[in-house]
Amino acid sequence: MENLFNRKYIIQGLFIVVSLILIGQLFYIQVASDRYFLSANSNVLRKKYTFPARGVIIDRNNKVLVQNEPVYDLMVTPNLVKPFDTLALCKIIGIDMAGFHKRFNKARSQSRYQRSVFEKQLSVQTYAALQERLSRFIGFETQNRTVRHYPDSVAGQFFGYVKEVSDKDIEESNGYYRPGDYIGKSGVERQYNDVLRGERGVENTIYNARNVPQGSYLNGKFDTLATSGETLVSSLDINIQKLGEQLLKNKVGSIVAIEPSTGEVLAFVSSPSYDPNLMVGRQQGNNYMDIFRSPNRPFNVRPLSGYYSPGSSFKPLDDLIALQEGVIDPNTTFNCPGGYWAGNHFVSCEHVDGNISLRKGLARSCNTYACYVFQKLMTQKKFKNKIEAYDSWEAKVRKFGLGSKLDLDMPFERKGRLFTSEEYTKRFGKSWGYTTIISLAIGQGEMSATPLQMANIMAIIANRGYYIKPHLIKAIGEKKAVKKEYLVKNSVDIDLSHFEPVIDGMQDAVNAPYGTARASAIPNILLCGKTGTVQNPHGKNHSVFIGFAPRDNPKIAIAVIVENAGYGGAYAAPIASYITEQYLTGKISGGRLAQAEAMKKLVVLPDVPKPKIKWAPKGTDSTKIPVTLPASPENKIVNTKTTPTPLTQ
Amino acid sequence: MSTQQGSRFFFNVDWITILIYTLLCTIGFINIYASLYNPDTSALFDFSSRYGKQMIYVVVALMMGFSILLLDAKFFSIFSPIVYGGTMLLLMVVLVVGRRVAGNQAWIPLGTFRLQPSELAKFGTALLLARYVGTFNPKFRDIKSIGIAALIVGFPLFLIMLQPDTGSALVYIAFMFPMYREGLSGYFLLIFLGMIVLFIADFLVPVYILIPIIAAIGGFFIYHNRRKQKMMFSMIMATVIAIAYLFIVKVGYEKVLEPHQRTRIEIMLGLKTDPKGAGYNVIQSKIAIGAGQLTGRGFLQGTQTKYGYVPEQSTDFIFSTIGEEWGFLGCSVVIGLYIFLLLRVINLAERQRSSFSRVYGYCVASIIFFHVFINIGMTIGIIPVIGIPLPFISYGGSSLWSFTVLLFIFLKLDSNRMGFI
């Protein structure tokens, strides 16, 4: 009996063990795991989102560059749909029955109870037609959205475009994005996406098990209204932006204009360009592919990703360094017999000027002068060897922003190219000397810069020794907030006194009768500049001009590159002068207006594989219009076999 | 002993048990109210609604309970064969006139009220089993006494299987505990446990892995008992039977169980998910309980409860309401109350002089235990869906009354423990 009495404990123990199992499982589903808690919320709560309008972008003169246009998404909640005249609906939104079933089945496979998009971005007109009969299409409703509209149809690469978020975006956003949200994919829309996008509004509604709404959740405690994105004030001047795009029409190249005192980018032209409105709306995908496939790659943002040898436009910079180093003074002369022998190869000049000094050397873009300057720099006594000399020189060049990113507020900037001494040693072995790399003297060889970097060099010279980081958005939001980094002056450590001799030369390049860009002089305005004619493996030389104006208290620094167009004085310089004049005076004066109009019509397209899609917009006369533009005597380099010029653009 | 009239009936009654009983009934009422709560139409005393009805049921149950306390304790022992016979009769009647609800013919309609004989049969069986032990004092060591007990339990089990109501039938396993207490070999419990473990293992582990495992375990015991020839023989038999059982189960599973029962088992074992069909109840029940988290959403604040996501929430799935609105703490309190009640009943049973009262007490504890374990286990997904109520808490007159009667008979027996039965 005693034995049996103990069985009581076995039974009681069993009861306790089992109850602990129950409590253990309860602990798991109630406390340890929040999976069921979250499922409960998704059971009951349906969130209805309202989409914010993206921020407006205005130019420096408060002209609206980007605004929002209403469109309407047609939404469907599959389980609410009652039989209706499907054909009528198809007709209104312009789809066929097969398309209807495809869309409906897609919506149903997503959720029978949650509404999903049936057709995106119906226009206002379609919406009006649909609205009249929407009451007959039970289960369908519309949802307001806005899409971008660009009234001037310019600056496509600057704006970039906005697109629906991809699965990857959603994944990377840590739950911020939901299917159907918009995100900036390139350009400013991408760079300032967080500022522009605004905040989604949300309305939480409780549903019961039969999917009947039961009112708002906690009296709307967690409901929010959509808030629009912030307004961005762009630094662009839409007038010169437009002029720049017109001048580069049917040419490949770029224009970057900077206000030197602020670093604000005034013009950001990349040609070929495209109408940003093509990247909006239901045809976005098709248009994207068309633009993507068109020749000369309009999606290339050349001002910050195009690589060009600076060519002769590098000379002022090198002269500044030489002056600072004291290897030359403004009166130092070198004899130019029409070229310069560097070891076994010859850098030729287009002219024979005899003894030539800094001012004339820059004005006439004398290669011999530049090579002597470079030779002096590389053979200074204070350096133990060529490595040290080169390193010192390289560091000074880098201060001007070459070889590294300028941190423009745009995605996908590239840093350009400037070799270190190690890279040269790697390429040429130990025995290289200044003669090996003499091409650098005239901005060729192992040196590439983006148009932005070239314009920035001009801003530095215009400012006599410093630059402010170039930027495209000068202020953000109602409060016009300015980023702190755009107030910092970056010095290049060249004494103020060295600038005037160099600027003298640049002034003569445009304004003296023997200047390389004399045809581009602007009446009453001292445009200082430097032409460049850049050799490249793709065909004719690139036409380059960099400059600033006016000489005193400069308002604009500019870099213009026209690919495969020939002399810098022939294309780039005049284009720069038109833009400068337009910007400074608001017009192009006298006979120069006709020249500018003629320039707009010139077609200078590099040889490209036969385009699948004809890129030139309709109505453009694609034949070359003969116009009398004085050809400039220009420099040329021969025998570059030691320094091939691999250009990427 | 007091000579006062009132205390003659109630002097020895275990008021603590009655207190727990009342608490559980109250918890039941509160949660039935919450599970049916509709913000628009919820008067507390609406007797056409379920919580209104439950209030009546509770009052009636209390009256029944106290009436039982007024009866003579000898009554139950004497009339146990008649009660048993009566409930068996009802079980047979229901097979003829019963209304078929959800595939089971378990209800006898009596006006607006529906009687569920399988609930009544439990205490009928408990009484007769107790009477058998009380009268003949068998030790369940011989085939005969085990056979008689098996007949007493097996007959109602058989009738209930005919309805068929597998859930109610399963509860009859509970009667193994009192028999074990009275002397039934522990092997029966172990074998039973082994059958369940093997049954589950058979689904989760491939046979070619399972057989070597069984053989290894069997081999160990055979070797261990190699000097005792009889034991060794039994072990060999057990091993062979265990392996055969694997195959019998596989066949029996397909042939005997209804498709919906198979689905429920497969869902519980995680072999199948069917969130919109058979798995819906359990998933929603788990979601509701999980949503309660540590402290619960609060009375009438459970969204899953309020908006009807858990089917059968006032009856078999009432525990999900408790889980959502009162959280882990509330659930623990309820389980704690049950465990306290069960341990208390066992303790009370052990202090009985008559083996009739003791066995009956064990029956009560075991039946309640099975209901609680199966019901809560089902709502949290560790037991397949078996439609049996949560004692004292689930909505429904039949179950509340039968548990009340079951418990109060024992309390009466206990209050009279000094007397002879």
Q: What is the pTM of this model?
A: 0.64
Instruction: Report the distance separating Cα A438 and Cα A443, nearest Å.
Output: 9
What pLDDT, on the 0 to 100 scale, is given for residue A6? 85
Q: Does B342 touch chain A (CB under 8 A)?
A: yes
**Lookup: tokens for A179:** 């299917």
Chain B residues in contact with A27 by the CB 8 A cut-off are 328
* Kind plus residue range of the DSSP H or E element containing A259: strand A253-259
Q: How far is CA A254 from the centre of its chain?
A: 12
User: Is B210 in the same domain as B176?
Assistant: no
Residue of B nearest to A207 (CA): B307
User: Is A209 in the same domain as A309?
Assistant: no
Question: What is the ipTM score, two decimals?
Answer: 0.90
What pLDDT, on the 0 to 100 scale, is given for residue A294? 81
**Interface contact B369-A12, CB threshold 8 A:** no
User: Is A76 in the same domain as A181?
Assistant: yes
Chain A residues in contact with B294 by the CB 8 A cut-off are 30-31
Chain A residues in contact with B338 by the CB 8 A cut-off are 19
Under the banding of pLDDT at 50, 70 and 90, the label for residue B44 is low
Nearest to A359 by CA among A218, A537, A501: A501
What pLDDT, on the 0 to 100 scale, is given for residue B275? 67
Residue A63 has pLDDT above 70, yes or no: yes
The answer to whether B350 and B124 have CB atoms below 8 angstroms apart is: no
How distant is the Cα of A221 from the closest Cα of chain B, in angstroms?
16
**B266, B296, B319 — which closes off a domain?**
B266
Under the banding of pLDDT at 50, 70 and 90, the label for residue A291 is confident
What 3-state class would DSSP assign to A340? strand
Best residue in B307, B332, B353 for a mutation probing chain A (most A CBs within 10 Å): B307
For the stretch A157-193, pLDDT in tens is: 888 888 888 888 888 877 788 777 888 888 888 888 8
Residue by residue, DSSP assigns A539-558 as SSPEEEEEEEE-SSS--EEE
User: Is B173 in the same domain as B192?
Assistant: no
Cβ–Cβ pairs < 8 A, chains A and B = 117
Phi, then psi, of A440 in degrees rounded to 5: -60, -30
Q: Is residue A312 part of a domain?
A: yes
Residue of B nearest to A3 (CA): B183
**Interface contact A11-B180, CB threshold 8 A:** yes
Question: Percent of chain A beyond pLDDT 70?
Answer: 93
Chain B residues in contact with A214 by the CB 8 A cut-off are 307
**Lookup: tokens for A305:** 């990703």
Of residues B113 and A395, the one with the higher pLDDT is: A395
User: Is A366 in the same domain as A433?
Assistant: yes
**Interface contact A18-B338, CB threshold 8 A:** no
What 3-state class would DSSP assign to B407? helix
**Interface contact A33-B290, CB threshold 8 A:** yes
Chain B residues in contact with A10 by the CB 8 A cut-off are 180, 186
Q: Give, rounded to a whole angstrom, the gap between the first and last alpha carbons of chain B.
A: 19
Q: Does B10 touch chain A (CB under 8 A)?
A: no
Under the banding of pLDDT at 50, 70 and 90, the label for residue B103 is low
User: Is B283 in the same domain as B258?
Assistant: no
For the stretch B135-161, pLDDT in tens is: 888 888 888 999 999 999 999 999 988
Residue by residue, DSSP assigns A512-531 as STT-TTGGG-BTTB--EEEE
User: Is A166 in the same domain as A254?
Assistant: no
User: Is A113 in the same domain as A258?
Assistant: no
User: Is A336 in the same domain as A439?
Assistant: yes
What pLDDT, on the 0 to 100 scale, is given for residue A358? 83
Chain A residues in contact with B287 by the CB 8 A cut-off are 36, 39-40, 43
**Lookup: tokens for B319:** 């525990």
Residue A623 has pLDDT above 50, yes or no: no
User: Is A156 in the same domain as A213?
Assistant: yes
Strand partners, A265: A258
CATH number for position A222: 3.90.1310.10
Under the banding of pLDDT at 50, 70 and 90, the label for residue A646 is very low
**Interface contact A43-B309, CB threshold 8 A:** yes
CATH number for position A452: 3.40.710.10
**Which domain, by its residues, includes B257?**
188-266
Query: Would you say the C-alpha torsion B128, B131, B136, B138 has a positive or negative sign?
Result: positive
User: Is A109 in the same domain as A256?
Assistant: no
Residue B43 has pLDDT above 70, yes or no: no
User: Is B134 in the same domain as B241?
Assistant: no
Instruction: Report the distance separating Cα A545 and Cα A533, nearest Å.
Output: 9
Instruction: Report the distance separating Cα A237 and Cα A266, nearest Å.
Output: 5
**Interface contact B181-A8, CB threshold 8 A:** yes
**Interface contact A18-B369, CB threshold 8 A:** yes
Instruction: Report the distance separating Cα A30 and Cα A77, nearest Å.
Output: 33
Instruction: Report the distance separating Cα A207 and Cα A497, nearest Å.
Output: 77
What pLDDT, on the 0 to 100 scale, is given for residue B170? 85
Query: Would you say the C-alpha torsion B56, B59, B64, B67 has a positive or negative sign?
Result: negative
Please name the member of B183, B186, B289 whose beta carbon is closest to the beta carbon of A29: B289
Q: Does B348 touch chain A (CB under 8 A)?
A: no
Instruction: Report the distance separating Cα A200 and Cα A54, nearest Å.
Output: 11
List CB contacts of A144: < 8 A, sequence separation 6 or more.
A50, A51, A70, A71, A72
The answer to whether A534 and A444 have CB atoms below 8 angstroms apart is: yes
**Average pLDDT over every residue of A54-58:** 87
Chain B residues in contact with A9 by the CB 8 A cut-off are none
User: Is A105 in the same domain as A188?
Assistant: yes
Nearest to A520 by CA among A569, A475, A583: A569
**A601, A621, A642 — which closes off a domain?**
A601
**Interface contact B382-A21, CB threshold 8 A:** yes
User: Is A566 in the same domain as A481?
Assistant: yes
**Interface contact B307-A18, CB threshold 8 A:** no
Q: Is residue A632 part of a domain?
A: no
Chain B residues in contact with A26 by the CB 8 A cut-off are 289, 323, 328, 331-332, 335, 380
Instruction: Report the distance separating Cα B77 and Cα B75, nearest Å.
Output: 6
Of residues A411 and B6, the one with the higher pLDDT is: A411
User: Is A283 in the same domain as A203?
Assistant: no
Please name the member of B339, B342, B380 whose beta carbon is closest to the beta carbon of A26: B380
**Interface contact A214-B307, CB threshold 8 A:** yes
Which chain A residues have any C-beta within 8 angstroms of a chain B C-beta?
4-5, 7-8, 10-12, 15-16, 18-19, 21-23, 25-27, 29-31, 33-37, 39-41, 43-44, 206-210, 214
Instruction: Report the distance separating Cα B387 and Cα B385, nearest Å.
Output: 6
**Which domain, by its residues, includes A587?**
238-601
Q: How far is CA B123 from the centre of its chain?
A: 12
How distant is the Cα of B7 from the closest Cα of chain A, in angstroms?
31
**A575, A601, A627 — which closes off a domain?**
A601
DSSP B53: H
Please name the member of A7, A25, A210 whose beta carbon is closest to the beta carbon of B181: A7
Residue of A nearest to B325 (CA): A30
What pLDDT, on the 0 to 100 scale, is given for residue A484? 84
**B244, B266, B288 — which closes off a domain?**
B266
Q: Does B301 touch chain A (CB under 8 A)?
A: no
**Interface contact B350-A5, CB threshold 8 A:** yes
The whole-chain average pLDDT of chain A stands at 81
User: Is B113 in the same domain as B52?
Assistant: yes
**Lookup: tokens for A6:** 């103990």
The answer to whether A413 and A305 have CB atoms below 8 angstroms apart is: yes
Of residues A52 and B379, the one with the higher pLDDT is: B379
* Domain total in chain B: 2
Q: Does B376 touch chain A (CB under 8 A)?
A: yes
Neighbours of B213 (CB within 10 A): 11
**Interface contact A209-B309, CB threshold 8 A:** yes
List CB contacts of B343: < 8 A, sequence separation 6 or more.
A12, A15, A16
Best residue in A7, A15, A16, A222 for a mutation probing chain B (most B CBs within 10 Å): A15
User: Is B308 in the same domain as B398?
Assistant: yes
Chain A residues in contact with B342 by the CB 8 A cut-off are 12, 15
Q: Is residue B161 part of a domain?
A: no
User: Is B252 in the same domain as B389?
Assistant: no
Phi, then psi, of A560 in degrees rounded to 5: -125, 135
Strand A232-234 and strand A57-58: the pairing is parallel
User: Is B22 in the same domain as B136?
Assistant: yes
User: Is B146 in the same domain as B23?
Assistant: yes
Please name the member of B181, B331, B377 whose beta carbon is closest to the beta carbon of A4: B181
What pLDDT, on the 0 to 100 scale, is given for residue A212? 75
For the stretch B383-399, pLDDT in tens is: 888 888 999 999 988 88
* Domain total in chain A: 2
Cα Rg of chain B, angstroms: 23
Q: Is residue A399 part of a domain?
A: yes
User: Is A334 in the same domain as A393?
Assistant: yes
Under the banding of pLDDT at 50, 70 and 90, the label for residue A622 is very low
* A551: amino acid identity, one letter: R
Best residue in B284, B339, B353, B371 for a mutation probing chain A (most A CBs within 10 Å): B339
User: Is B301 in the same domain as B399?
Assistant: yes
**Average pLDDT over every residue of A353-365:** 81
Residue of B nearest to A32 (CA): B293
Instruction: Report the distance separating Cα A607 and Cα A620, nearest Å.
Output: 19
How distant is the Cα of B263 from the closest Cα of chain A, in angstroms?
22
Chain A residues in contact with B327 by the CB 8 A cut-off are 30
**B266, B293, B312 — which closes off a domain?**
B266
**Lookup: tokens for A437:** 């790399």
**Interface contact A30-B289, CB threshold 8 A:** yes
List CB contacts of B198: < 8 A, sequence separation 6 or more.
B210, B214, B242, B245, B246, B249
Residue of A nearest to B378 (CA): A22
**Lookup: tokens for A556:** 């604009």
Q: Is residue A58 part of a domain?
A: yes
**Interface contact A16-B328, CB threshold 8 A:** no
User: Is B64 in the same domain as B151?
Assistant: yes
Q: Is residue B2 part of a domain?
A: no
Q: Is residue B43 part of a domain?
A: yes
For the stretch A206-226, pLDDT in tens is: 887 777 777 777 777 778 888
Query: Would you say the C-alpha torsion B9, B11, B14, B20 has a positive or negative sign?
Result: positive
**Interface contact B293-A30, CB threshold 8 A:** yes
How distant is the Cα of A219 from the closest Cα of chain B, in angstroms?
14
Q: Is residue B228 part of a domain?
A: yes
Largest CA distance in chain B: 76
Instruction: Report the distance separating Cα A492 and Cα A485, nearest Å.
Output: 17
